[in-house]
Amino acid sequence: MQGEELRKKIKEVMVEELMLEQDPSEISDHVPIFGGGGLGLDSVDALQLVVGLEKHFGLKVGNSDEAKGILESVETIAKEIEKSA
């Protein structure tokens, strides 16, 4: 799975795993996942997201420094999954 299909699935996993009250189609590929101006998720959400990404895509996030770069946006998550595929 790559490209648009992968990005759509990541958004679906985020909505499902984090119980977001948004439609996956409303989430932009480049919107920041954490902090203001984006989805506004917090560290608890980050942990749930990492677990969900591993469960659905087999993506393992090693440490918090690595996680910051990977979990910036749907786009950065997708690139990491594509890299490890």
| DSSP-derived secondary structure letter, 72 | T
Kindly tell me if the per-residue pLDDT of 1 is higher than 80.
no
Task: Give the number of C-alpha atoms closer than 13 A to the C-alpha of residue 6, restricted to the C-beta side.
Answer: 17
Q: What is the pLDDT of residue 65?
A: 84
Residue 46 Cα distances to 17, 22, 34, 49, 65, angstroms: 11, 17, 8, 5, 13
Instruction: Name the amino acid, one letter, at 3.
Output: G
Give pLDDT tens digits for 14-66. 999 999 999 999 999 999 998 878 888 988 998 899 999 999 999 988 887 88
34 beta partners? 41
Domains contained in the chain, CATH given: 3-84 (1.10.1200.10)
Residue 10's identity, in one-letter code, is I
